[in-house]
Amino acid sequence: MGLTLSAKVNVLKDPKGSMRAYATLIVDGLIEINGFRVIEGSKGLFAAAPQTKGSKPDENGKDQYFDDVRYSDADEKGFSDTKNQVQSCILEAYGAALGEGTRANTATARTNDPTPTGKRPGMARTAQW
């Protein structure tokens, strides 16, 4: 039995820089992980996991950031089936939010959920994959 993933995405009205939206990942309808970000990178869109800023800069004087989410099935290069599912779920919800006509919409996407409830407040649209 796989995980049921869904995402709530809040698209930025007037994005500055590369960030396009904030997202919350919902695991099995029980756990919500806030702080994902949809980023427009040089190779396209991706969902960045939440990070916490460290209290001290690194040896080069730059701020350090530490990952708040780690994928236990990642290989030595950081690739993970779970990470790919999370990316797909968040990016599909982002696409659904953009497809609704305004950049300030909230949308959801679900994976591995045969019976979506669709009754959560603030979820304007549900996309299945």
CB atoms within 10 A of CB 18: 13
Which pairs with CB-CB distance under 8 Å and at least 24 residues apart come from 51-54? none
The model carries a pTM of 0.70
pLDDT 10s digits, 77-128: 666 788 889 999 999 999 999 886 444 444 555 554 434 444 444 444 444 4
The predicted structure's pLDDT at residue 69: 84
d(CA 36, CA 9): 9
Report the percent of the chain where pLDDT is more than 90.
Answer: 42
Q: pLDDT tens across 44-64, in order? A: 999 999 988 889 889 999 998
The overall average pLDDT reported for the chain is 78
CA-atom Rg of the chain in angstroms: 15
Residue 53 is classified by DSSP as E
pLDDT at 109: 52
Question: If you ran DSSP here, which 8-state letter would residue 93 be given?
Answer: H
Q: Nearest-CA neighbor of 105 among 127, 124, 128?
A: 124
pLDDT at 37 over 70: yes
CA distance 42 to 1: 36
